[in-house]
Amino acid sequence: MGAIVIQADKKSNKILSDLAKRLGGNVLSLKDEQYEDFALGSLMDKVKTNETVSRDIIMKKLRRK
């Protein structure tokens, strides 16, 4: 199963939502904050390196500021 996310104005969202329902799709409404969380999470997944950094290195970087 796949999904698409379309961000548009209220009127367009209503039209697209109605069309998707008529075509048998499930429609989920997201608030702006939820969309931003989703987009940030997606970006984080794309740049994930799976590398670890020691606590000492992090503390040294924080102390420099």
The ranges assigned to domains in the chain are: 10-63
What are the tokens at 55? 């606590």
Question: What is the DSSP code (8-state) at residue 23?
Answer: T
pTM for the complete prediction? 0.56
pLDDT of residue 65: 63
What are the tokens at 30? 């997201």
Average pLDDT in the chain: 91
Numbers of helices and strands, H then E, in the chain? 3, 0
Is pLDDT larger for residue 64 or for residue 17? Answer: 17
Condensed to tens digits (0 to 9), the pLDDT of residues 7-61 reads 899 999 999 999 999 999 999 988 889 999 999 999 999 999 989 999 999 999 9
The C-alpha torsion from 42 through 13 and 27 to 37, rounded to 10°, is: 20
